[in-house]
Amino acid sequence: MTATLSFEPAVAKQHRQIDVSRWDEVYVVGDVHGCAETLERLLDRLDNGRSLFVFVGDLVRKGPDSRRALSLVRERDNLLSVRGNNEQKLLDGRASIDALDDDDLAFVESMPLVVSWDGALVVHGGIDHRKPLAEHSAEELLNNRSLVPDGSYDRPYWFETRNGGRKVFFGHTVLAQPFATPWAVGLDTGCVYGGQLTAYRCSTGEFVSVEPPETYVERSADSIVDPRPAVEE
């Protein structure tokens, strides 16, 4: 039996534990950032109606069609997403998207901070394995990257040094290539920046990626991480 996860009360209310046994396959998908056409390419390739797709958040902002990206996830009962920091910015009033209506924002607000199933945990930013899950704030789950206080892009990164516990799927940190160890899987390969939209097939550990039709936003090389695990499997 899988151990019960413990979160602080505010986070616990936004944790969704799911049963994946009804699905033939589970895919976890990286940051979409409004690249609806790219997402459609991925779903056309993989979605047979019998697979579950879990997104790591940041469906919106930066790319050309945030509303369509949200609608694709809303319209299919085999698609769900955790909340990313860009969804949180909409809810906090730190950002806005003119094309989104009240129903869209209500859907954004309904996104959980955490999705879990047996042996797996999906968050947008990440966790700090040096402390219990119950001590993580929503802000940390949305934005964690570096283990250096206020370090952001300073190594060590949490996912490179994690060496036990559940497998944590995450986005937020733009990676030059997808990252996987038995304890962490990074899926933001920068589709809005001319990279790829990447999915992870949970049954095989295979990455499946599609190219965007164009580069929508330029990003400096020093904010694209070349991941390297710091621990041995």
pLDDT digit string, tens, across residues 70-79: 999 999 999 9
Question: Domain for residue 203, yes or no?
Answer: yes
**What's this model's pTM, rounded to 2 decimal places?**
0.95
The pLDDT tens digits of the residues spanning 113-167 come to 999 999 999 999 999 999 999 999 999 999 999 999 888 899 999 999 999 999 9
Q: Is residue 10 part of a domain?
A: no
What's the pLDDT tens digit per position in 157-185? 999 999 999 999 999 999 999 999 999 99
- Structural domain boundaries enclosing 58: 26-125+166-223
Tell me whether residue 41 is in a domain: yes
DSSP assignments along the chain, one per residue? -PPPP---HHHHTTEEE---TT-SEEEEE---TT-HHHHHHHHHHH--SSEEEEE-S--SSSSS-HHHHHHHHHH-TTEEEPPPHHHHHHHHTS---TT--HHHHHHHHH--SEEEETTEEE-SS---TTS-GGG--HHHHHH--BSSTT-TTSSPBHHHH--SSSEEEE-SS-BSS-EE-SSEEE---BGGGTSBEEEEETTTTEEEEE--SS--S---GGGSB----SS--
100: CATH: 3.60.21.10
What's residue 1's pLDDT?
Answer: 41
**Count: domains in the chain:** 1
Q: Has residue 74 been placed in a domain? A: yes
- Residue 79 inside a domain? The answer is yes
Q: Is position 53 within any domain?
A: yes
Asked if residue 197 belongs to a domain, the reply is yes
Q: What percent of the chain has pLDDT over 70?
A: 97
Residue 59 lies in a domain: yes
